Structure 1
Amino acid sequence: MAVGALTDSMSYVPSKRNVSLARRRVARLLADWGSPELAGDAALLAGELAANALLHGGVPDRLFRVELRLEDKTLRIAVTDPRGELLPRQREAGDEEQHGRGLAIVAALATRWGVDPLVVGKTVWAELELC
């Protein structure tokens, strides 16, 4: 991998369609950046974080942003949304619940994840350590 970081940022209108577009963009970028082995997990992480931004952080007519940063040994996926008062927390979903497993998936795949509160909104991020 080249020295220095590869970065990308894209803002999206809050819609289900754009969660899918963000997921596909992440997978394509990682393949383009020469790390196709990361594409599947990274796309899943981006999709879960973007879906949470849509469901729990979305405000009509306010965008959410997906950022990627690939450095020597770390891939960071960060999703920023406009609702900082609703911080994510991992929970255990019941068998009949349709939602509530996203952060469990993030925690299982990511090396680490967290939340950065902002003046307006928040950024939820996940990192993958590269071998």
Structure 2
Amino acid sequence: MISLATRRFFRAEFPARTDRAFAVRRMLTAFLKYWKLDQAVDSAVLATNELFANAVEHGSSGPDDTVTVTVGVEPAGDELRIEVADGSPVPPVFRAAAETEECGRGLAIVDGLASAWGTDPPDGDGAGKKVWFTLALDRAR
């Protein structure tokens, strides 16, 4: 098991394509299980999947764009933070989807699962944004 005194962090870049969502989910699941954060897997994977889908659909101009997923746990070990970055500066819009709509619930799902969520400017001087969420972790792992 990795010491709680160690900052755990990884970042991966994916093509902005819907068929890459499986790779995002698989990678996130593998890292969280390796870090012994099994209790966070379901919520983290579902929320990340929603943000990845939004980044592909609304935050990219095509399959040549990329989406970056960053996952981190600070040494205190009480919070998991996941960021999904895309090339669009347009912030996400939280909306209430009608019962008959087949889409439009992504941010509502993230809001329901996460301790907190929001947006930040991109790293560096590039265009785009980061949409992030946090999940509280049980410290008695």
TM-score under structure 2 normalisation? 0.87
Q: What per-residue deviation string (whole Å, max 9, x for no partner) do you get for residues 55-95 of structure 1?
A: 110122111100100121110010000001x2112110011
Count of paired positions: 130
Find the partner of 1:75 among 59, 80, 99: 80
Q: Does 2:99 align with 1:92? A: no
**Distance (whole Å) between structure 2 residues aligned to residue 4 and residue 114 of structure 1:** 25
Q: Does 2:65 align with 1:62? A: yes
Secondary structure of 1:94's counterpart equals coil
**Distance (whole Å) between structure 2 residues aligned to residue 107 and residue 32 of structure 1:** 26
- Dislocated runs of 4+, deviation >3 Å: none
Q: Which residue of 2 aligns with 1:43?
A: 45
Unaligned runs of 5+ in 2: none
**Distance (whole Å) between structure 2 residues aligned to residue 83 and residue 92 of structure 1:** 22
Q: Which residue of 2 aligns with 1:123?
A: 130
RMSD: 1.1
Q: How far apart are residue 46 of structure 1 and its match?
A: 0.9
Higher-Rg structure is: 2
With 40-49 and 15-24 compared, the bigger mean Cα shift is at: 15-24
Q: How far apart are residue 117 of structure 1 and its match?
A: 2.5
What residue identity is the alignment partner of 1:83?
S
**Distance (whole Å) between structure 2 residues aligned to residue 93 and residue 58 of structure 1:** 22
State the identity as a percent.
Answer: 34
